Structure 1
Amino acid sequence: MVQPVSTLNHPTLLESPQEWDLSTLYQGFDDPQLTGDLEQLQQTAIQFRDTFRDNIKDLTAEQIADCLKQLEAIAQQSGILYAFPALIFSADTRNTEAKQMQDKVLEALTSIENQLLFFDLELKNLDDARYAELEQSAVLQSYRHYFYNLSKFRPYKLSEAVEQTRNQDSLTGRQAFINLRSVHLGEQEYEPVSTPDGKSCSTEAELGALLFHPNAEVRYNAYGSVRSVMQQHNSLYGYILNSVAQDHKLENQMRGYDSTLHKQLLADEVSEPVFRAIMSGTRDRFDLWQRYYTLKGQALGQTIRTCDVYAPWDSQPVEPLPYKAGVETLLAAIADFDVNYARRAEEFFLKNWVDAKVRPGKRGGAFCWYIHGKHSCLLLSYTEDYNSLFTLAHEMGHGLHFAWISDRQSYFNSNPPMILAEIASTFNELLLLDYLLKQAGDNPALKKTLITRQLEDQLNLLFRQSTISRLELAMHDRATQGTFDHTFVNDQWMSLYHELCGDAVEVLPDHQYDWARIGHIYFKPYYCYQYTASNIVSLACYQKYLQVGKDFIPGYLELLSAGGSMDQVTALKQYVDVDLEDPATISAALKYVEGLLDQLQATL
C-alpha cells in the first residue's frame, strides 16, 4: 500500500468511512427553522409577485438588478430547503420520513417557482431593442451571461399559465417517474455473493467493488447479482424511461424545439458541430478500447467478458486501502498541486461534509451536491480500494470547484456549464494518479495497477459514456415516432456494445439490462457525452499544467471561479488556452490514451 506523505494535519479524521453532519442546514425535520424558512419563502415570493408582475417593462436597469438580487436570495434559500431532505433521502432511500419531507418541500418550491415565473417571461417578452439595452447596461454587467442564456430560450417560451402547468405537472409527471425509479431501486435486495476469504457482499456498492476482484467466478456472480434485479424489473424501468422520453417529446412540440438533443445542447452551451465531432471522433477510435481489452485478455489468459472489464491484471489482490489512509493520500496529492487547494479539501473531512459509509438502501453511485450559500456535500460508498479513492478524488474536485465559485459568484452565475463542471473532478483524478505513481517507488505491481486503472477510466469516459449518449440518440429518435418498451432499449444497448467491443470483449446476455442502472439517462438527457467532452478538456488542461508547472495554477483557479458567469468556450481559451472547438483537442486526448497503451504494451 502507498504510504501517504502529507503536509497537512488532520487529527480528527475518522478511522472508518464517515457519515454526513447536515446540521449546518437544519437540525432535523422537526426543526422549527425549517418550517419557518419555508413559510417565509412563500410569503417573500408572493410579495415579489405582487410588487413586480406586469411592471418589468417599466423598470430601470437598476431596478432590474435589484429584482435579480432578490430572486437570487429566494433561489439560494430554496436550494438549502430542498437539499436537506434530498440529501437524507439519498443517504437512505428507505427513509419514508425523508421522502415525505422531500415531496412536501418540492411541492412548496414548485408553487414558489410558479409565483416567480412571470419575471423571466416578461423579460423574454421585451422588444429586442429594450432587451439589448438591458444586456449592455453597466449595472447589469455581472448578469450579462444570465441575459445571454435567457435570450437563447426566448423563441421557446410559453404563456405564464402553461409554464405554471408544466411546473405543476412535474410533481406527478416526468419528475415523479424519475423519483419512482430511485425509490424502487433503493428498495431492491441483491443476492449475496461470497468471496474465497468468507466475506459476504449484498449491497450494490459492495457488489460493484467485487467487479475488481481477482477471482473470475466472484466477478461473474457479483455482476449477475445486480443485473438479475435489473432483469426482474426490466419492463418497469423501460416503461419509466419511455414515459420520461415521451414527456420530453411533448415539451419539444409545445415549445418548438427541433429535438430533445437540440433543447439540451442549448442548455449545455454546446454547439451541435462540437457534439457531433465528439461523437464521431470517439466512434472512429473504438480500436483503442478493443486493443486494450485484447491485451488484457492475453495477459489473463481468457476472453474478457463484460463482467471482467475491471478485473485486476495480477492474481494477487492489492492491499486494502483504509478510509483514513485514502483521505490522507488524496490530501497529500492535492497539496503537491497547491497547499491552499488542499486545505479547502481538508475542510470537507473535518466538518463531515462527506458521507462515505456503505449502507443498505443508500443511493448507488456518487455525487457532489452544491448548496449555494453553504457548502457542498459529497456522497459515495467507500469500499477500501483504489477505485473508491479515485471516486472520492473525483467528487472532491467538484466540491473544490464549487468552493472557488462560492468565493466569486452570485447564485445566477454559480452553475457552470456541464463541460466546465466536470473539469476539476477529472483533473483531481490525474493529480492523484501521478502522486500514487511517484509514491509506488519500486512496486511494479502497484504501478501497473494504477496505469491500467487510468487507462480503464479514460476508456470509460471517452467510449462508454459517449456510447450511452448514442443509446439516447436512438431512444429519443424512436420517441418521436411513437412509444418504445424495454425490449427496444435492450436491443439498442446490446447492438451499441457489440459495436464498441468487437471481438475483444464478450458481451454477456445479462448486459442487455445494464442501461437501467444509468441514472443520468433518466435525470437529464445527453448528460453522459459531457463526461467525454470534459475529459477531453481536462486532459488538455493537465498537459498544460505539466508543461508550465505552477504558473498554470492562477489561470486554472480563475477558470474554476468563473462558474457560469461566461461562455465556456471563451473561458477555456482565456484562462487556460484550451480550444474546445478545435478538432486537435479531441485528437490529443485520444493520442494520450494511445500513448498509455504503448507504455503498457512495452511492459508486457
Structure 2
Amino acid sequence: MTLQTNWNLTKYFFSGLDDPRLQANIDAILPLAEAFAKKYQNIIKTFTTPEQILEYYADYEKMSHDMGTGSVYLSYLQSLDTQNNAVIKKMGELECIFIEASSRLLFISQEWKELGYEKIMAFANNPLLKDYKNALVSKANNLKYILGEREEFVLNEKSRALGVVEGLREELANSYTFEIELDGKKKTVTEEEIRSLRTNPNREIRRKSYESLRQVYNNKQVQITLGNVYAGIVKNWTSDVKLRGYTTVMEPRNTSEELENEVVDMLLQEVQAAFPLYSRFIEAKRKCMKLDEFHTYDVQAPLGSIEKEFNFDQAVKLHLETMADFDSEFHRYSLDMLESGRIDAFPKFGKQSGAFASYRAGEPSFVLLNHTNKLRDVSTLSHELGHATHGHLSQGQKPAVYDSPLSLAETASIFNEMLLSEKIRKELSTEEYKEFLNEKLSDVFATIFRQIQYIAFERRVHEAIFAGQELTYHDFNQMWREEQIRMTGESVIYDVTAENESGWSMIPHIFGSPFYCYAYAFGNILVFALYNRYQKEGQSFIESYKDILRAGGSKRPKDLLAEHGFDITSPTFYRDAIEEIEKMVVEFEGLVE
C-alpha cells in the first residue's frame, strides 16, 4: 500500500485557479439557471403526472451537480490555505454568482407552494416516485415556511452580507498564531497544534497551552469583533425565525434535521439530567492524578506521565485492521481513500483546523485531517473515514435524497470509533486500559454532554435576542460560564473570571451552523444503541447497520430507525445510552480505587 497524505485535487477537479475548465464551469452557472427557469417557470405549479416530477428531478439534479463542481473545488483549496487571497477572491466572485442564480430560481419554491400540500403529498405516495418520497414529503411540510417571492428575494440578497460575516470569523480564526515556550524556546504554532498540547502529560505545558489560547481569544479587540460577528449571525437567524413563522428558535434546525421539536427537547432534558455523572468522572480522575485541585487545563490530561504517540502510518495500520475485522466493504473503501489522494493528513500554517469529511452524490469522498501523533488523532482518522464510507454507501440514493440529516450523519463516524476502541482495548495492560478508559470517557462527555452544553448556551442567546435584547460579548461570556458550571458543578476550577470567559468564541459551529452540535450528541446516543445490538447479534447485524447508512436522506430518522427496532420518541432510548455511560464511570471509579 502506498499512502498519499496530500489531496490530489488535479486528478478529480482542476489543475489550478488558472485552469480554463474552472472558469468555464463558473461561467456556465447562470446559463444553467436560466435554462432551467426557461423550461420550468409557470410549469411546476401545473404538474399533474409522476412522469413530470421524474423529469423535473432529473433536470434539477443535473443542474445542481454541474453548478456545484467549481464551488466544491474552491472550498477544498480554501481549506488547505485559508489565507490564499486569490482563492478568497474567487470564492467571493462565485458567491455573488450563486446569489444571482438562486434569485433566478426563486420561482421554484413559489410554484411548489402554489401546487399545494395535498397534491405534493399525493405525488409522494405514488409508487413511481418512491425514490423521491421523502424529498416530496419534506417539501410539502415546509410549504408553510415559504414567504412570497418578493420577500424571498430580499432574504436571498441579505444572505450576501451574511456570507461575508460568517466568513470573517473563519478567516480571523485561521489567521491567529499562538506563542508558547517549550524546552526553554519560544515557538509559534497553529491553533490545532496549541490545542493538541492540552493533552500533554506535563501539567505546566497544559497550563501554558490554555494560557496561549486565552491570550489570543481574550484579547479585547478579538472579543469585540467576534462578539459583534456572533450577535449579527444570531440576529439574522432569529429574524428569519420570525419572518417564516417558526414556533421556536431551534425549529429551523429541527426541521432541516427532520426531527420533531419534542424529540430534540427530550434529548436535551435527558442529557442535562445526567450532568452529575460528569462530576463523578472528574472527581475520580482528580484522585487518580493525585491533585488537590482540578483546573480547566486538567480536563483533557492523560493519567500517566508518558503519552503514547501514534504516527500516521501506525494510525492507518490500526484503523485498517479494525475495518478488516468488521466488514470487507468498509476496509476496501478506507484503502481506496488512503491510496488515491483523497486524504490530506498533516497541519500546515493557514490550513483549516480540525478535521472533516466531504462528499456529494456521484463523486468520491474527501477527508481533511491535522494529524499530530496523538491517540485522539487515531480516533479522528477512523471517525472521518466513517463519514467518507457513509457517503460512499449512500451513493445508491437519488441526489435529492442523498444527504443524511445531521442527526444521522454522525452514525458511521462514531460507530467506527467504537470499533477502534474495542480493537485498542484488547491490546492494553491494566494501567494502559485505565488510561484508555479515561480517554474514552473524556470523548463521550465531550461529544454528548458538552455538545448539549453548547446547545443550551446557543438557545439562551438566540431566545434573548429573539425577545429583543441587545447582547454583547460580555453577555456571551457570562452565559457561557453559567452553562459550563451547570455541567461541571464544583468539580472544575476555572482559571479566568466569567467576565473573561471567551470559550464560546472558539466554537466554529455556533457561528456557521447554529444548533448543529446536538447532532453529535444524538449520533453518539444512537451509536450506543447500534453497538449494543452489534455486540448481541454479531455479523448478522452488519447488513442492517449498512442499510441505515445506505438510506442516506431517503427516510425520516424516526421512521428509518423504527424499521430497525429503535424508538427515538421514547425516553428509554436516551436513558439506556446514559446507563451505559454510567457503567463506564463506575468501572473507571473502581480502577481508581
* Same fold (TM > 0.5): yes
Separation in 2 of the partners of 1:483 and 1:176?
A: 22
User: Offset at 1:40?
Assistant: 2.6
Q: State yes or no: 1:451 paired with 2:437.
A: yes
User: Offset at 1:259?
Assistant: 2.9
User: Offset at 1:593?
Assistant: 1.0
- What is aligned with 1:44? 32
- 1:27-38 to 2 correspondences below 5 Å: 27-38=15-26
User: Offset at 1:137?
Assistant: 2.6
Q: Secondary structure at the match of 1:397?
A: helix
- CA deviation digits over 1:249-295, x for unaligned, max 9? 21122211223212221111111221111111111111110001101
Moved more, 179-188 or 162-171: 162-171
Separation in 1 of the partners of 2:286 and 2:186?
A: 27
Q: 1:471 aligns with which of 454, 457, 468?
A: 457
Residue identity in the other structure for 1:203: T
- CA deviation digits over 1:293-315, x for unaligned, max 9? 10111111222211111101011
- What is aligned with 1:436? 424
Q: 2:320 aligns with which of 293, 308, 331?
A: 331
Q: 1:356–1:379: 8 Å Cα contact kept in structure 2?
A: yes
Q: 1:290–1:502: 8 Å Cα contact kept in structure 2?
A: yes
Q: 2:360–2:403: 8 Å Cα contact kept in structure 1?
A: no
- 1:415-434 to 2 correspondences below 5 Å: 415-434=403-422
Q: 1:194–1:201: 8 Å Cα contact kept in structure 2?
A: no
Q: 2:268 aligns with which of 275, 279, 304?
A: 279
Separation in 1 of the partners of 2:91 and 2:430?
A: 49
Q: 1:390–1:429: 8 Å Cα contact kept in structure 2?
A: yes
Moved more, 177-186 or 73-82: 73-82
Report the CA distance shift for 1:463/1:22 in structure 2 as closer, same or farther (over 3 A).
Answer: same
- What is aligned with 2:189? 202
- CA deviation digits over 1:40-73, x for unaligned, max 9? 3321220110121112222332122111111111
- What is aligned with 1:175? 163
Moved more, 542-551 or 127-136: 127-136
Residue identity in the other structure for 1:267: S
Separation in 2 of the partners of 1:139 and 1:112?
A: 30
Q: 1:366–1:380: 8 Å Cα contact kept in structure 2?
A: yes
Residue identity in the other structure for 2:482: S
Separation in 2 of the partners of 1:557 and 1:162?
A: 42
Q: 2:206–2:297: 8 Å Cα contact kept in structure 1?
A: yes
- What is aligned with 2:209? 222
Moved more, 39-48 or 353-362: 39-48
Separation in 1 of the partners of 2:246 and 2:574?
A: 28
Q: 1:249–1:479: 8 Å Cα contact kept in structure 2?
A: yes
- What is aligned with 1:413? 401
Q: Secondary structure at the match of 2:106?
A: helix
Q: Secondary structure at the match of 1:191?
A: strand
Q: 1:75–1:411: 8 Å Cα contact kept in structure 2?
A: no
Q: Secondary structure at the match of 1:565?
A: coil
Separation in 2 of the partners of 1:397 and 1:199?
A: 38
- What is aligned with 1:53? 41
Separation in 1 of the partners of 2:98 and 2:450?
A: 36
Separation in 2 of the partners of 1:429 and 1:559?
A: 17
- What is aligned with 1:5? none
TM-score (norm 1): 0.94
- What is aligned with 2:248? 259
Q: Kindly indicate whether structure 1 or structure 2 has the higher relative contact order, using CA contacts under 8 Å at least 6 residues apart.
A: 1
Q: Secondary structure at the match of 2:305?
A: coil
Separation in 2 of the partners of 1:556 and 1:351?
A: 27
Moved more, 123-132 or 415-424: 123-132
Q: 2:109–2:146: 8 Å Cα contact kept in structure 1?
A: no
Identical amino acids, percent of aligned pairs: 26
Moved more, 376-385 or 548-557: 376-385
User: Offset at 1:508?
Assistant: 2.2
Separation in 1 of the partners of 2:318 and 2:50?
A: 50
| Count of aligned pairs between the two proteins | 584
Q: 1:409–1:561: 8 Å Cα contact kept in structure 2?
A: yes
Separation in 2 of the partners of 1:412 and 1:534?
A: 22
Q: State yes or no: 1:308 paired with 2:298.
A: yes
Separation in 2 of the partners of 1:352 and 1:200?
A: 31
Residue identity in the other structure for 1:479: I
Q: Secondary structure at the match of 1:45?
A: helix
Residue identity in the other structure for 2:372: T
Q: 1:361 aligns with which of 331, 350, 360?
A: 350
Separation in 2 of the partners of 1:128 and 1:317?
A: 59
Report the CA distance shift for 1:158/1:583 in structure 2 as closer, same or farther (over 3 A).
Answer: same
Separation in 2 of the partners of 1:560 and 1:193?
A: 46
Q: Secondary structure at the match of 1:220?
A: helix
- CA deviation digits over 1:467-492, x for unaligned, max 9? 00000110001111232110100000
Q: Secondary structure at the match of 1:311?
A: coil
Residue identity in the other structure for 1:414: Y
- 1:130-141 to 2 correspondences below 5 Å: 130-141=119-130
User: Offset at 1:321?
Assistant: 0.8
Separation in 1 of the partners of 2:354 and 2:506?
A: 10
- What is aligned with 1:371? 360
User: Offset at 1:200?
Assistant: 4.2
- What is aligned with 1:491? 478
Residue identity in the other structure for 2:197: L
Q: For structure 1, which runs of at least 5 residues remain unmatched after alignment?
A: 1-9
Separation in 2 of the partners of 1:223 and 1:326?
A: 27
- What is aligned with 1:343? 332
Separation in 2 of the partners of 1:121 and 1:135?
A: 18
Residue identity in the other structure for 2:573: T
Separation in 2 of the partners of 1:127 and 1:437?
A: 55
User: Offset at 1:361?
Assistant: 1.5
Separation in 2 of the partners of 1:222 and 1:466?
A: 25
- CA deviation digits over 1:388-420, x for unaligned, max 9? 1111111111111001011x1121111111111
- CA deviation digits over 1:340-379, x for unaligned, max 9? 2111111111012111211111112211121332122111
Separation in 2 of the partners of 1:195 and 1:69?
A: 61
User: Offset at 1:444?
Assistant: 2.9
Residue identity in the other structure for 1:389: V
TM-score (norm 2): 0.96
Q: 1:192–1:201: 8 Å Cα contact kept in structure 2?
A: yes
Q: 1:401–1:560: 8 Å Cα contact kept in structure 2?
A: yes
Residue identity in the other structure for 1:120: S
- What is aligned with 2:225? 236
Separation in 1 of the partners of 2:181 and 2:544?
A: 48
Deviating beyond 6 angstroms after TM superposition, the runs of 4 or more aligned structure 1 residues are none
User: Offset at 1:201?
Assistant: 5.8
Q: 2:465–2:471: 8 Å Cα contact kept in structure 1?
A: yes
Moved more, 101-110 or 322-331: 101-110
Separation in 2 of the partners of 1:111 and 1:187?
A: 30
Q: Secondary structure at the match of 1:192?
A: strand
- What is aligned with 1:73? 62
Q: 2:452–2:521: 8 Å Cα contact kept in structure 1?
A: yes
Residue identity in the other structure for 1:524: S
User: Offset at 1:199?
Assistant: 9.0
Moved more, 381-390 or 511-520: 511-520
